[in-house]
Each structure stands twice: as structure tokens, then as C-alpha cells.
């Protein structure tokens, strides 16, 4: 069995930064995390990818093609389709080592996770190669300022969740940039309450619209609340404990560590062989 986080979310939500920090945090807790860059338009990031889609295709290849004439978004979708047509390339790059841990840094075009099926097909391929997957949906906490943006963010997460059909963790990023006041406000959206979501008192321009759609807002809020469909976990990337909490939540989703525990207890002969494996299990507890 192998493990992977699929890091998704809107443009600029902090995906590449999250990947780099997770890898660094992994090293500090003796977990070897490989990063795969899946963004064919990426220019720079703070990590060295183990695998890079740009070695297969770059978005410029699609945009500069004289017959296709793609713009940046069409070009990106073309590149992702191209990746799916060349899955043996990815499979080969990923190797077949048991217990490998990968993080996939994905592009920020949200349509990939809403109505297109390229990412879903990629999930199916990874699962068929023995990966246990958890999607990590990042949303910039600066947008969680009122109910309308909360509902919109939650619906985007929900849309990605139903599109990908894998374990799912929603994360609010860039908490370190929030003022004390904004952090307090954020608490309201970590445990959202349907009635509370309708009680915003922002700009009067929207109040008529809001009044007219109060029932709709409340119903959506209630569905999210009743079914615990979308719960956001705050992440302060500058705080090791916060990173460890998120990693622990993801570990639970993909049962990282549990298989190794069973394997060690049931099959491993005493002492001599256990030394190396012990670390691997303990690191799962962060
Ligand atoms: N202070 C702070 N800055 C962050 C954090 N996460 C991201 N940033 C900054 O936000 C900007 C965008 O971050 P990226 O990690 O490139 O975001 P992304 O989601 O990969 O962006 P795309 O790949 O373009 O969709 C960069 O300037 C980062 O330095 C964070 O947790 N804290
Ligand atoms: Mg990025």
C-alpha cells in the first residue's frame, strides 16, 4: 500500500507553499515525503519535485501550438488530458515501492475539481496503483469574512468532494496573516450554525437580495451543518503543532501507520528486523 495527499483548491490558496512546508515538517518527524508537481504552468516553488509534469508537457507547448491556439486555461486542461493519455509515464515515475508517501501539488483552476472528470480519472488510476488517497482542499482564510463567502467556499469544497470521490479534508490556509480580530471571527465558520449564517450585517446594498434569499441561505447552511459535509480545519503554516494536527487528520483518513502496525505485530520476527520499522510507525503519530 502507498499513500498520497492530493492538494487542490483555488488559484493562490497556498497549495505549493503547503506542499513545501508539509515535506519539511515530514523530514523533521522522520517521514520521507515526495512531491509531485502536477501544474504544467508552474513557474517557481520552494521544493524540489521528485516528479514534474513539466518534464512531460508544459502549458506553453499547448499555447504555442499553431493548430490548437489554446489560452492558459484551455492549455491547462489540454495538458491534464495529455497526462491521462500518458499514464504509463506517471506510473513509471512513481515506481512501485511499498509505503511510499507522495504529495501531489495540483493546478489552481477550480474547474478541474468541479465539472471536468480529468482529476477523477487520475484518482482512479492512482487507486489502481495501490495508492490510498486523501484530497486536501485549501481555501484562503481571508475569504471567510462573511456568510456568503463561507457558503460559496463550502459549496466549492463540496463540489470537489463529490467530483473526486476520495477521502477529503478541507483546510483554511494563511491563518498566520489574519489579525487577532479576524481570527476570532473565523471561529464562527469552524463550527457553522445555519441560523447564524443568515445573521450577517454587512453592506446594505446586499440586504434586499439577502432578505429575499434568506430561506435558501438557511437551507444550504442547514444541509452543511446537519450532514457535517464541509468542516474546515484552520492551518497556521508557521506552527508545527498546527501542521501536525492536519497531518494527523489526514493519517486517520488514509489509515497511514495502521497497516504497518498490524504487519509488525503479526509477521515480524523479533528485534533484529524491527528497528527500521519502528520509526515509520511512530512518525505516523506526528
Ligand atoms: N504568510 C503566508 N503566506 C502564504 C501562505 N500560503 C501561501 N502564501 C503565499 O501566498 C502566495 C500564493 O501561494 P502559493 O503556494 O503559490 O499558492 P498556490 O495555491 O500554489 O497558487 P497556484 O499554484 O497559482 O494556484 C505566495 O506568495 C505564498 O508565499 C501561508 O500559509 N502564509
Ligand atoms: Mg501552486
Q: What is the pLDDT of residue 76?
A: 94
**Is the minimum distance from the CB of 146 to ligand 1 under 6 angstroms?**
no
> What is the CA(65)–ligand 1 centre distance, in A?
30
Question: In this structure, which long-range contacts are made by residues 125-129, counting pairs with CB atoms below 8 Å and at least 24 apart in sequence?
Answer: 125/84, 125/87, 125/90, 125/91, 126/4, 127/166, 129/2, 129/91, 129/94, 129/96
For ligand 1, atom 12: residue with the closest CA = 12
Please report the pLDDT score of residue 283 as a whole number.
Answer: 39
Domain boundaries along the sequence of the chain: 2-195+229-255
Q: What is the Cα–Cα distance from 224 to 97, expressed in whole angstroms? A: 39
Q: Are 13 and 24 in contact (CB under 8 A)?
A: no
Give the pLDDT of residue 241. Answer: 96
DSSP designation for 180: H
CATH superfamily of 2-195+229-255: P-loop containing nucleotide triphosphate hydrolases (3.40.50.300)
Ranges of beta strands (E only) in 91-210 are 101-105, 131-140, 167-173
Q: What does each of the 286 residues of the chain score in pLDDT, given as a tens digit? A: 999 999 999 999 999 999 999 999 999 989 999 999 999 999 988 999 999 999 999 999 888 877 878 888 899 999 999 999 999 999 999 999 989 999 999 999 988 988 889 999 999 999 999 999 999 999 999 888 777 788 888 889 999 999 999 999 999 999 999 988 888 888 878 877 766 766 665 555 567 777 777 788 788 888 887 777 788 999 999 999 999 999 999 999 999 987 665 444 444 555 554 444 444 334 333 3
Check if 37 has its Cβ closer than 6 Å to any atom of ligand 1.
no
In this structure, what C-alpha cell is assigned to residue 279? 520509526
- Could you give the dihedral angle defined by the CA atoms of residues 277, 279, 283 and 284, in that order, rounded to the nearest 10 degrees? 20
120-160 per-position pLDDT tens digit = 999 999 999 999 999 999 999 988 877 778 888 888 999 99
User: Ligand 1 atom closest to Cα of 236?
Assistant: 31
- At 144 the pLDDT is 82
Q: Any idea which residue has 520552494 for its cell?
A: 46
Cα–Cα dist 247/142, whole Å? 22
Best probe residue, ligand 1, of 16, 38, 246 (max atoms within 8 Å of C-beta): 16
Task: Report pLDDT for 242.
Answer: 96
pLDDT at 91 (0 to 100):
98
DSSP conformation class of 10: S
User: Quick check: CB of 176 below 6 Å from ligand 1?
Assistant: yes
ipTM of the complex: 0.99
Residue 237 CB less than 6 A away from ligand 1: yes
Beta partners for 102?
4, 34
Angle between the 118-128 and 87-94 helix axes, to the nearest 10 degrees?
A: 40
Q: Which ligand is in closest contact with the Cα of 138?
A: 1
Ligand 1 center–CA 173 separation, angstroms: 9
Residue nearest to atom 29 of ligand 1 (CA): 17
Angstrom distance (rounded) from CA 277 to CA 54:
35
Amino acid at each position: 500500500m502507498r499513500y498520497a495527499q492530493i492538494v487542490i483548491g483555488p488559484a493562490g490558496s497556498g497549495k505549493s507553499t503547503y506542499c513545501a512546508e508539509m515535506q519539511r515538517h515530514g523530514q523533521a518527524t522522520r517521514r520521507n515525503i515526495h512531491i509531485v508537481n502536477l501544474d504544467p504552468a508552474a513557474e517557481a516553488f520552494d521544493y524540489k519535485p521528485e516528479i514534474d509534469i513539466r518534464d512531460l508537457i508544459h502549458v506553453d507547448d499547448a499555447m504555442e501550438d499553431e493548430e490548437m491556439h489554446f489560452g492558459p486555461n484551455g492549455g491547462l486542461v489540454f495538458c491534464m488530458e495529455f497526462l491521462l493519455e500518458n499514464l504509463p509515464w506517471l506510473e513509471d515515475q512513481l515506481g512501485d515501492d511499498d509505503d511510499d508517501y507522495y504529495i501531489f501539488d495540483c493546478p489552481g483552476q477550480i474547474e478541474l475539481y468541479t465539472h471536468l472528470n480529468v482529476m477523477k480519472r487520475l484518482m482512479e488510476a492512482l487507486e489502481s496503483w495501490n495508492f490510498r488517497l486523501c484530497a486536501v482542499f485549501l481555501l484562503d482564510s481571508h475569504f471567510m469574512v462573511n456568510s456568503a463567502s463561507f457558503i460559496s467556499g463550502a459549496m466549492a469544497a463540496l463540489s470537489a468532494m463529490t467530483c473526486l470521490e476520495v477521502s477529503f479534508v478541507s483546510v483554511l490556509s494563511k491563518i498566520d496573516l489574519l489579525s487577532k480580530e479576524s481570527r476570532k471571527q473565523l471561529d464562527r465558520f469552524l463550527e457553522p450554525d445555519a441560523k447564524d449564517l443568515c445573521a450577517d450585517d454587512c453592506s446594505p446594498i446586499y440586504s434586499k437580495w439577502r432578505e429575499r434569499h434568506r430561506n435558501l441561505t438557511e437551507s444550504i447552511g442547514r444541509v452543511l451543518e446537519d450532514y457535517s459535509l464541509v468542516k474546515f480545519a484552520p492551518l497556521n503554516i508557521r506552527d508545527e503543532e498546527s501542521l501536525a494536527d492536519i497531518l494527523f487528520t489526514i493519517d486517520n483518513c488514509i489509515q497511514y501507520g495502521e497497516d504497518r502496525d498490524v504487519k509488525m505485530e503479526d509477521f515480524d520476527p523479533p528485534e533484529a528486523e524491527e528497528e527500521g520499522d519502528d520509526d515509520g510507525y511512530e512518525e505516523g503519530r506526528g
